[in-house]
Structure formats: C-alpha cells, structure tokens
Amino acid sequence: MIAPKEIRTVFMGTPDFALPTLEGLIESGVDLRAVYTQPDRPKGRGKQLSLPPVKVLAQRLGIPVHQPFKLRDPEVVAELKELSPDLIVVVAYGQILPKSVLEIPRYGCINVHASLLPRYRGAAPINKAVMDGEEVTGITTMLMDVGLDTGDMLIRHSTPIGFEETAGELHDRLSLLGRQAMEETLARLCAGTLEAEPQDDARSCYAPMLKKEDGRIDWNKSAGEIHNLVRGLDPWPGAYTHLGGEVLKIARTLPEPGEGEAGTLLSAGPEGVRIACGEGVLRVRELQLPGKRRLPAAEFLRGRSLSPGTRLES
C-alpha cells in the first residue's frame, strides 16, 4: 500500500472537461508538482488572449503552470524530468505525448478518455458516439503508449446516452464520470490492485477532430440520422442547412413519421418546423440565422415567416 501523498504527480489537461479530474486529484492528496496545459491563444472577434480553464484553476490554487508549445522539445522534456513525477495524468491535453515523456514516470502516464475503448479513439469521441446514435458510452482510463488511444485499459465506467441528449450535455456528465474513474484508478494504484487489459484493435473505431463543414445536413438521409447529427454537433460546430442563400443552423430536433420530398418544409408553427427527409420527418424546435441568437421555433417565426413548400438546400 502507498498513500496518494507519496505519489509525485504532474497533470496535463486544457479545457473544462479536465477540471473535475484535476480537482479530484487535488482532493485525493497526491503530491501535485505541476500542471501542463496549452499556451494562451487568441479567441473571439477581439482576438484577446484566452487562458485555458485548467490554467485558471491551477493559478487560483497556487499550482505551478507550464505551457510549452511543443512537449517533445528536448528542453521541455528535461524540465519535466527535473520534476521527477511518479505519475502523469492526462485529460484532453491537446498534444501527443512523445516516447521521451511516456518513459519518465514509474507508474506511467494515465489518460482519461471519453469513450468505452477501444471504441472511438481520437479527438472527438463524445460527438461521434452521439452522431452514430450510440445508446451507451463512458470513460476509460488507460496506460498511454506511443499509439493514438491504443494503450492498455485500466478502469471503464459506462453511462446511457439519452435520445435527445446533446454532445454538450453528455460532455458535462462524462467530465464528472472521468473524475470518478480516475479516483478509482488512483485508489487501486495505491492498493496495488490495478490491472491493465489490452485493447482489442479489431473492435476499434476512430473519432476524428470536428470541422465546421461536418455540420452540413444531407436531407436525403433519414430523420433519425439527421437528428443524431444535430445533437452530436451541439454546441459546436452546429448542424446547418441553407435557406434562401443564408446559413440556417438547427437544433433541438425530433424525428417523426411522415413523408415528403427531402429538404421540403412541410409546416411551421410554435411547436416546431417540420422538414421532410429521405425517410421520415424532422421536427426542428430551435433555429439560428447568421449574426442572430438561437431561438425557439415560435420566436424565430415571429421574425421570419416560413411557408410550406419552401426548399432547404444542403
């Protein structure tokens, strides 16, 4: 048995998703030597420098923060070696850890990944699981190796995906589940009962980084498929179509029975805008035009009339 305070730890993470796990490590009592996060970057129309959420929390708690542009640079690796970590915990850091870093801690580098590996390796596992219509996903802690999310699995916690749940809502739940999974991983590590299980590569699939154009709606697809696309890309990058030459973003959808020519608006009222798909009908309850707020259908229609028969373009 070893106590958490005996484990010199370095945390690597960047976005909000990583915060619960970092907070859990702090509360567990590990000897947290430093936090590594992405450099500050310009954000928004004003292009003002934005601090990563992990940096904000670490600074508030007085934890040393490192923000290397390239983790693999020899001087960065040397600096990390000087910290002499027993364990490196990684959550959505945003950089690939080179072999020179993976070999530093005696307990290895443990990643908190937002899927039930070996499914959905890659940068956008939450979005892709929702887009694919999965009914269950989860968190996997894994021992990192030089591959992309290919290391041996340690702890897996599953959770159902709601039929109307968006990627953003699932993201928030999984961030908390990630903390639980890492807390269990640390407890087993301290107790000497942590066991690693190799991944079955034959069952793997990939979730690549999202691009804005991934949100383009093909109305020839079924209402169910489009519904999954819409909620899988909410809040970013958002699913969109074109209305009279303008980009129209849609959200909060429901697939329904019905038929009509794909991409044709069938009806528009306070309960939503109904659009024919390749199979079935999609009821859209929130819409957004460029430069405008996302609005419930009833409010949107007060400022923009939509007539049955209107064609939406992909």
4-207 CATH pick, 3.40.50.300, 3.40.50.170, 1.10.101.10, 1.10.1030.10: 3.40.50.170
- The whole-number average pLDDT for the span 10-20 is 98
Give the separation between CA 52 and CA 15, rounded to whole angstroms: 6
- The whole-number average pLDDT for the span 75-84 is 98
pLDDT mean across residues, the chain: 97
Q: For 161-213, how does the pLDDT look when each residue is reduced to its tens digit (9 = 90+)?
A: 999 999 999 999 999 999 999 999 999 999 999 999 999 999 999 999 999 99
- The whole-number average pLDDT for the span 33-57 is 91
- The architecture in CATH of the region 212-303 reads Roll (3.10)
pLDDT at 48: 83
Query: Is the pLDDT reported for residue 289 higher than 80?
Result: yes
Is 0.75 surpassed by the pTM of this model?
yes
Q: For 142-171, how does the pLDDT look when each residue is reduced to its tens digit (9 = 90+)?
A: 999 999 999 999 999 999 999 999 999 999
Cis peptide, bond prior to residue 125, ω within 30 of zero: no
- The whole-number average pLDDT for the span 20-37 is 98
**3-state DSSP call for residue 110?**
strand
Give the separation between CA 39 and CA 143, rounded to whole angstroms: 25
Q: Where are the domains of the chain?
A: 4-207, 212-303
pLDDT at 201: 96
**Packing angle of the helix pair 53-60, 19-28 (nearest 10 deg):** 30
